[in-house]
Structure 1
Amino acid sequence: MKTLALYNLKGGVGKTAAAVNLASLAAEQGLRTLLWDLDPQGSAAWYLGFDSEDIGGMKRLTRGKIPIGDLIQPTRWPRLHLLAGGLSSRRLEQRVDQDDELLERLAAPLAEDYALLVLDCPAGIQPINDEVLRLADVVATPMIPSSLSVHTFGVLVQHLARQHMRKVRLYPFLSMVDRRRRLHRELVETLPREISTLLRTGIPYASIIEQMGPRRALLQDYAPHSPAALQYQALWTELRNRLGC
């Protein structure tokens, strides 16, 4: 099983939209895929049509009172399953603070059933994200082409160095790109020279992506041939090559 994490220090950068679309593309291409929504907001689960009463159980899981498989739910997309704790994910965050190998132990049995594990992480620097950074084969970081986002990415790189996590395979990609904005256009041109691991594919700022919320559906469902959907497909191709799956 390969593990792909979607992570950024900042929220509101298109992380969850990328996570659910990439997971669905992997499943569509034949990989049995589990999307683990680690964010207490449960946004990935919500995009997939699950409400707050449909998810949870992290407290029982961390106490060993329920096997992880009992919390996994099928979605309406073949080969794509969901594991989401919603607000109960805060319990998982607390336990990881006390046991920095907990997440790895919980994820280990999943390799029996899945080819790909996609982790949608909460924003910020916290123990559960440090554990994800150590666990993941590839960490994809959406980055808006703005000065603040570039600065935030630099802070993340510094954090990895201070935590001696130099083996993390960190791949930023541009997200919510608005080519009507001069700064966006300039950074699209200059950042590939400044960040050697920056992926070639950028995700546009587009109303058709925003429609995922009202529709509670993925781009592949209602606009599979749109420019935005094609960019997610290209992004998945880049990441799949780096994952080797």
Structure 2
Amino acid sequence: MKTLALFNLKGGVGKTVSAVNLAALAAASGFKTLLWDLDPQGAAAWYLGVDMDETGGMKRLARGRTPIGELIRHTGVARLDLLAGGLSSLHLEAAQADHGALLARLSAPLAEDYHLLIYDCPAGLQAVNEAALAHADVIAMPMIPTTLSVHAYEVLVRYLAKRRLTGLRLYPFLTQVDRRRRLHRELVAALPAQIRTLLHTAIPYASAVEQMGPRRLPLPLFAPRTPPALAYAALWQALAGLLRLHGDG
């Protein structure tokens, strides 16, 4: 089983939208996929039509009182399941265990049933995120092309170096790109030279992405030929290569 984490220090950068669309594309490619919504807000569950009152038990899971399989829910997308409820840093602390080791132990049984595990991480620096980042084969970091987003990336790189996590495979990519804005155009052109691992595919700003909320569906299911859906398809192909996922499952 391969593991992909979607993470950014900042909120509102398209992290959960990206996680949901990439998970749907992975499933459509034939890979049995589990999206683990680590954010207590449960936005990934909302986008996939899973009500939060149908999920939960993270505290019991962290303490070893509930098998992880009991918390997994099927979605309306073939080969895509969801684990929601938000495994917070408080749950990890309550378990009184090494955070990275605990997350690895919890996810180990999933390898029997899934080709790909995707973590949708909450914003910020906290124990659950550090554990997820350390466990991930690839970290995809959505960034809006603004100077503040670039600063957040630089802060993260310094933090990882301080924590001696420099070996992580961190791949930023641009989201919500509005080429009508001069700053966006300038940064789209300049950032590949500044960030060596920046992925080439940029997700454009589009109203179709906003429709994911009221429709409660990922883009590939209701607007597959729109520019953002096509961009996510290209992004998935790049990430699948980095994850060494090939073929139909």
Short-chain TM bin? over 0.9
* Kept after mapping to 1: 8 A contact 2:35/2:117: yes
When residues 60 and 112 of structure 1 are mapped into structure 2, their CA distance, relative to the original with a 3 A threshold, is same
1:193 is aligned to 193
Alignment of 1:68 onto 2:68:
yes
Letter in 1 for 2:181: R
d(CA) in 1 for partners of 2:35, 2:232: 16
d(CA) in 2 for partners of 1:119, 1:96: 20
Shift of 1:94: 3.2
2:118 is aligned to 118
d(CA) in 2 for partners of 1:171, 1:64: 33
Alignment of 1:221 onto 2:221:
yes
d(CA) in 1 for partners of 2:95, 2:123: 16
d(CA) in 2 for partners of 1:138, 1:95: 28
Shift of 1:95: 3.9
Unaligned runs of 5+ in 2: none
TM, length-normalised to structure 2 = 0.95
Shift of 1:214: 1.1
1:99 is aligned to 98
**Equivalenced residues, count:** 244
* Kept after mapping to 2: 8 A contact 1:95/1:102: no
Letter in 1 for 2:12: G
When residues 90 and 160 of structure 1 are mapped into structure 2, their CA distance, relative to the original with a 3 A threshold, is closer
d(CA) in 2 for partners of 1:75, 1:51: 11
d(CA) in 1 for partners of 2:94, 2:196: 35
When residues 151 and 30 of structure 1 are mapped into structure 2, their CA distance, relative to the original with a 3 A threshold, is same
**Aligned counterparts, 1:1-245, within 5 A:** 1-86=1-86, 89=88, 91-95=90-94, 98-100=97-99, 101-245=101-245
Letter in 2 for 1:231: A
Shift of 1:202: 0.5
Percent identity (aligned): 62
Q: Deviations over 1:61-109 (max 9, x none)?
A: 11222110111111111110000114x6464343477522111110111
Unaligned runs of 5+ in 1: none
* Kept after mapping to 2: 8 A contact 1:37/1:44: yes
Shift of 1:159: 0.5
* Kept after mapping to 1: 8 A contact 2:204/2:228: yes
d(CA) in 2 for partners of 1:140, 1:104: 19
d(CA) in 1 for partners of 2:199, 2:221: 25
2:5 partner SS:
strand
When residues 216 and 57 of structure 1 are mapped into structure 2, their CA distance, relative to the original with a 3 A threshold, is same
d(CA) in 1 for partners of 2:130, 2:89: 15
d(CA) in 2 for partners of 1:221, 1:127: 34
Letter in 2 for 1:225: R
